Structure 1
Amino acid sequence: MSETTTLILHRKSADRPEVKAAVKAVIKSGVKLRVRIPWNKKDKAIVVKEAIEAGASRVIAGGGDGTINAVADALVGKGKKAPRVELGILPLGTANDFARGCGLPSDNLEECLRIACTGTAQAVDVGRMNKRNFINVASLGFGAEVTATTPQDLKKKLGGGAYTLMGLAKVRNFQPYAGRVLVPGKEPIEGAMLIAAVGNNRFAGGGFEVAPKASMTDGLLDLAVINHATGINLAAVLGELKDPFNENNRYLLYRQWEEFTLESDTPLHCNLDGEPVSKRSLRFSVLRRHLRLVMPS
């Protein structure tokens, strides 16, 4: 590549031996790679801007889903103009849901970094929630509460299973969210929600395929809502997710739209690609084919 490729590395991952080994191996193979380590979350956007000003044509986000989303959000900005800089992924998180949805070999960091540096980029959609950008999944309701309250040390010990463990521990005390879905030109959909996901990609919560029909190139966001109902159980929900458009589904509402708003009578917990949000009204829309993302061939 003629211009600089910059790896923006999560500070806590910088000293991991396997990360250092991957960086050394890729540089040794002839790739011109510059490594930057932001000091904190707010510094990530500044480092992205500095990398672009220094001539980077490709920026690689090295970290978990939160780091990936922070770098993508900095590249997209207000979304008025598609960024010229391409985005690569080095998955270093607990669950690596976005990397899983992209088909990246998360257990082989050297190969992931090699793909990020030398692979071909393709234009993908970017989701927007209340003017914030995301490229994977916004999880809402009970799932977002679980993610926000799972202790960090438990995540490290159990990986994606931590989300399941905390979920099983808290589900009996969970109170559903009463609210509605508003879609331009359609009647409001009223109901009580336990869990919801807005997917630009398929996976969230530690490997769960929460938006099985999602595509990053279709110009749509997938909304999956698990309704509050008597006798609900995990097996039934998973079964309905395998056939999400079935009109006979009892618990699952699954739709694909370009734009919609979720309103809740109480503040609705949302995990936006690793970042917590709590609002009563969340408006979602799509920036179609707006970001060039490096994917496995």
Structure 2
Amino acid sequence: MTARLSDRRIRTVALLTNPVAGGGRGDRVAHRAAERLRSHGLEVDSLRGSSAEESLDLARQAIAGGVDALAVCGGDGMVSLAVQAQAFTGVPIGIIPAGTGNDLAREYGVPLDSPEAAADVVAGGRVEQVDLGRATPDGGAPHVFASVLCAGLDSAVNRRVNEMTILGGPLRYVLASIIEFPTYRPRRFRMTFDPGEAGEETVEAEVLLSAFAITRSYGGDMMIAPDADRSDGLFDVCYVGRISRLRLAWHFRRIYSGTHVGLRGVTTRRCRAVRIEAQDVEAFADGDAVAPLPVNVEVLPGAGLFLVPRSLGHH
């Protein structure tokens, strides 16, 4: 699908920072980005949330105040907070990467190693309209996300990553996988795809891991959904059934290149919505906990806006 791109004139930017992102790099990275944004003649309002709740409140206040762009300095979880405030508002999000995985920055072509170059993307004003996802637990509040919702071994790994204090970057995901993999057992899943539509289908299967993807990667560049199109109105679904540990370990590295698709035991499909049910499984999205299953998940077509480099071609 052709990328939906437009140009904006950016004059005012709210820069929301996770001060503990990247092991405490967040503040330093944000300072460099703010200086660069000001060098472009932009007015920058620097915001720091001491918790996820405070950060979300600050993001909502900035958008309600009429800011031209909301830039976030942190990782995928911080971007996820931003999209919960931004969805359907017309205010674009800029990413200043400072997290562990930085999958969303990578997806949108934002430079990972230079806060100044990332700030230049924000100032450039090129906006891409994309899909978001929304997960609603039974009896719970909806949770908007920008990349991948996962449930199974991958969400257990995510929980472990968020609790770890050693290592940094994608290596943390590798170590967490090594820790969780030997003892994790597949669960019985019931997945109802496109419920209420003519093509509704229910699948019951033993599932080791599952991903429902707007974008292509999670876990620090694991290409779980290599063909995902972030503006086609569909999730790319990938789930792995009961396979031997030896076989999974042998093929694990293929997730980084996306060549796991098509292997025996790996199922892929697309859908607009899905209800996911299983016992003792937690759903994670954009690297953060959503809720224990069951969860209803749906695509929000065109709900997201991201500032992207002018050289970025839609994959």
- What TM-score, normalized by structure 1, do the two folds share? 0.89
1:164 and 2:174 matched: yes
The answer for the alignment partner of 1:106 in structure 2 is 112
Cα deviation, residue 2, structure 1: 6.0
1:93 and 2:99 matched: yes
**Alpha-carbon deviations, 1:80-139, whole Å to 9, x = none?**
xx2121111111101101111112111111111220232311211011111311011112
Q: What is the rounded CA distance, in whole Å, between the counterparts of 2:118 and 2:275 in structure 1?
A: 36
What letter is aligned with 1:29? Answer: H
1:62, 1:90 within 8 Å by CA — same for their partners in 2?
yes
Cα deviation, residue 288, structure 1: 0.6
Change (3 A) 1:15 1:174: closer
1:139, 1:204 within 8 Å by CA — same for their partners in 2?
no
Cα deviation, residue 233, structure 1: 2.2
Q: What is the rounded CA distance, in whole Å, between the counterparts of 2:26 and 2:208 in structure 1?
A: 39
The answer for the alignment partner of 1:123 in structure 2 is 129
The answer for the alignment partner of 2:265 in structure 1 is 251
Q: What is the rounded CA distance, in whole Å, between the counterparts of 1:207 and 1:140 in structure 2?
A: 18
Q: What is the rounded CA distance, in whole Å, between the counterparts of 2:121 and 2:178 in structure 1?
A: 37
Gaps of 5+ in 1: 77-81
Change (3 A) 1:53 1:132: closer
> 3-state DSSP class of the match of 1:149?
helix
Change (3 A) 1:54 1:187: closer
Q: What is the rounded CA distance, in whole Å, between the counterparts of 2:10 and 2:190 in structure 1?
A: 50
Q: What is the rounded CA distance, in whole Å, between the counterparts of 2:170 and 2:155 in structure 1?
A: 14
The answer for the alignment partner of 1:178 in structure 2 is 188
The answer for the alignment partner of 2:242 in structure 1 is 228
Q: What is the rounded CA distance, in whole Å, between the counterparts of 1:178 and 1:129 in structure 2?
A: 20
Q: Aligned runs of 1:1-297 on 2, under 5 Å?
A: 1=9, 3-12=11-20, 16-76=27-87, 82-130=88-136, 131-150=142-161, 151-154=163-166, 157-183=167-193, 184=195, 185-230=199-244, 232-236=247-251, 239=254, 241-242=258-259, 244=261, 246=262, 249-264=263-278, 266-297=279-310
Change (3 A) 1:10 1:209: same
- 219-228 vs 164-173, which moves further: 164-173
- 21-30 vs 159-168, which moves further: 21-30
Change (3 A) 1:209 1:128: same
Change (3 A) 1:235 1:75: same
Change (3 A) 1:236 1:21: closer
Cα deviation, residue 15, structure 1: 6.5
Q: What is the rounded CA distance, in whole Å, between the counterparts of 1:232 and 1:251 in structure 2?
A: 10
- 172-181 vs 226-235, which moves further: 226-235
Q: What is the rounded CA distance, in whole Å, between the counterparts of 1:101 and 1:228 in structure 2?
A: 30
- What TM-score, normalized by structure 2, do the two folds share? 0.84
1:232, 1:251 within 8 Å by CA — same for their partners in 2?
no
Change (3 A) 1:258 1:250: same
1:66, 1:275 within 8 Å by CA — same for their partners in 2?
yes
% identical aligned pairs: 23
Q: What is the rounded CA distance, in whole Å, between the counterparts of 2:264 and 2:292 in structure 1?
A: 27
Q: What is the rounded CA distance, in whole Å, between the counterparts of 1:254 and 1:159 in structure 2?
A: 28
Change (3 A) 1:2 1:132: closer
Change (3 A) 1:68 1:15: closer
Gaps of 5+ in 2: 1-8, 137-141, 311-315
Q: What is the rounded CA distance, in whole Å, between the counterparts of 1:72 and 1:49 in structure 2?
A: 10
The answer for the alignment partner of 2:6 in structure 1 is none
Cα RMSD for the two superposed structures: 2.1
